[in-house]
């Protein structure tokens, strides 16, 4: 087991400057929620950050919520590449030579890892996960080929969950439609007879 900081770099978010104007995009906690739900986020705009720790999101990065009851995690996708993270998020950049990004995400989403992260949150209301607590999280690090197999299995389970959710939504929609048509009864057409 290794600490997260031994296999990945963790960066804190920044405030967006510019009042929704500017050339830079900033991903917020609400945008992470939208991505997790499969929707397109509407990111805030601002001036590009001028600090060295401000890194644009790249392929392979993970975005981790620093606030909230659960510690949401998502993998960076093309729609957020180049954006910067806001204050309520952490950017986790795995060392590709040591840990697979999808494997790390699968581990961070496990109930046991979520419980450890929840126990480390501080504050009342919308509790915050300190960066140091995330960096010290112990991660099992098997060989890369095994990590990739585990990551592929996790993606299969995620795809199955999405399909089952979609199937449930379609089934509910068809059921409502059938009930609606049944309640209306058969359509009776009246016509005048010629005399």
> Considering the domain boundaries, does residue 195 fall inside one?
no
> Considering the domain boundaries, does residue 120 fall inside one?
yes
Which among 97, 55, 60 has a CA at the least distance from the CA of 78? Answer: 60
d(CA 88, CA 73) in angstroms, rounded, equals: 12
69-76: long-range contacts at Cβ-Cβ below 8 A with a sequence spacing of 24 or more?
Answer: 69/118, 69/127, 70/114, 70/118, 71/108, 71/114, 71/117, 71/118, 71/129, 72/32, 72/33, 72/36, 73/105, 73/108, 73/109, 74/32, 74/35, 74/36, 74/105, 75/101, 75/102, 75/105
pLDDT along the chain (195 residues), means of 10: 94 74 83 82 81 85 89 89 90 95 95 92 84 94 93 86 84 82 68 60
Q: What is the DSSP letter of 49?
A: P
pLDDT at 34 (0 to 100): 85
> Considering the domain boundaries, does residue 21 fall inside one?
yes
> Considering the domain boundaries, does residue 154 fall inside one?
yes
pLDDT at 52 (0 to 100): 73
Structural domain including 27 reads 2-179
> Considering the domain boundaries, does residue 192 fall inside one?
no
pLDDT at 99 (0 to 100): 96
Q: Report the CATH number that the domain containing residue 116 is assigned in CATH.
A: 3.90.220.20
Q: Which token pair is 90? A: 């952490």
> Considering the domain boundaries, does residue 184 fall inside one?
no
> Considering the domain boundaries, does residue 155 fall inside one?
yes
pLDDT at 73 (0 to 100): 92
pLDDT at 18 (0 to 100): 55
Number of compact structural domains in the chain: 1
């Amino acid at each position: 087991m290794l600490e997260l900081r031994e296999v990945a770099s963790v960066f804190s978010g920044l405030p967006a400057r510019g009042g929704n104007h500017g050339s830079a995009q900033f991903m917020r906690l609400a945008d992470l929620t939208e991505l997790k739900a499969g929707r397109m986020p509407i990111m805030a705009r601002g001036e590009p950050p001028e600090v060295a720790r401000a890194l644009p999101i790249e392929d392979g990065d993970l975005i981790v919520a620093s606030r909230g009851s659960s510690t949401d995690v998502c993998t960076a996708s093309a729609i957020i590449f180049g954006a910067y993270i806001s204050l309520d998020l952490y950017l986790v950049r795995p060392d590709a030579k040591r840990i697979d990004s999808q494997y790390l995400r699968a581990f961070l989403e496990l109930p046991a890892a979520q419980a450890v992260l929840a126990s480390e949150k501080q504050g009342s209301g919308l509790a915050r996960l300190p960066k140091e607590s995330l960096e010290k999280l112990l991660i099992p690090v098997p060989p890369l080929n095994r990590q990739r197999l585990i990551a592929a299995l996790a993606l299969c389970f995620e795809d199955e969950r999405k399909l089952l959710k979609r199937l449930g939504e379609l089934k509910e929609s068809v059921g409502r439609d059938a009930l609606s048509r049944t309640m209306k009864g058969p359509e009776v057409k009246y016509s005048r007879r010629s005399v």
